[in-house]
Each structure stands twice: as C-alpha cells, then as structure tokens.
C-alpha cells in the first residue's frame, strides 16, 4: 500500500478515498474524515514522525560515576 501524506492514493491513515466521486477534495483532505485527521495528529504528538535533531547533544548526567579520579 502506498499511503502518502500528499493525499495521493487516499487517506494516509486508513487508505480510503479522500475525495468524493467527482474527485473533489473532502473537508478533511488529505484525510477521509476528522477521525483520521485526529489519528494523524496523535501520531505527531506521540513522536512517531519525530525527526531527531542531529545537532542537539543528548542530556548528560554529570557527577555520576564519571569523575571518580578527582
């Protein structure tokens, strides 16, 4: 299945048509319904689509086991 975020091939969430029989975009395009729109939003909030920022260093835990020499 080729679900795309641009709406081609139907709803990105469930794959159902996101246009009516005349090819007109539905109200919640590219999604088929408000429900799928919310599902997509939930995915974003859950971090499923989160892209890691390579320039950001991970948080360190200083003073914990690493500085026993001094």
Interacting residues with Zn ion (CB under 5 A): 11, 13-14, 16, 32, 36
Q: How far is the CB of 33 from Zn ion (least distance, A)?
A: 6
Nearest residue (CB) to Zn ion, 23 versus 63: 23
Which residues contact residue 17 at a Cβ distance below 8 angstroms, ignoring those fewer than 6 apart? 10, 11, 32
Distance of CA 37 to the CA centre of its chain: 11
Nearest residue (CB) to Zn ion, 23 versus 65: 23
Element (H, E) at 42: helix 34-46
Q: How far is the CB of 12 from Zn ion (least distance, A)?
A: 8
The separation between the first and the last C-alpha atoms of the chain, rounded to the nearest angstrom, is 59
Q: How far is the CB of 31 from Zn ion (least distance, A)?
A: 5
């Amino acid at each position: 299945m080729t679900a795309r975020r641009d709406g081609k091939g139907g709803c990105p969430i469930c794959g159902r048509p996101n246009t009516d029989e005349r090819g007109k975009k539905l109200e919640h395009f590219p999604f088929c319904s408000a429900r799928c729109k919310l599902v997509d939003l939930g995915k974003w909030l859950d971090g499923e689509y989160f892209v890691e920022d390579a320039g950001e260093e991970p948080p360190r835990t200083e003073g914990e086991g690493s500085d026993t020499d001094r």
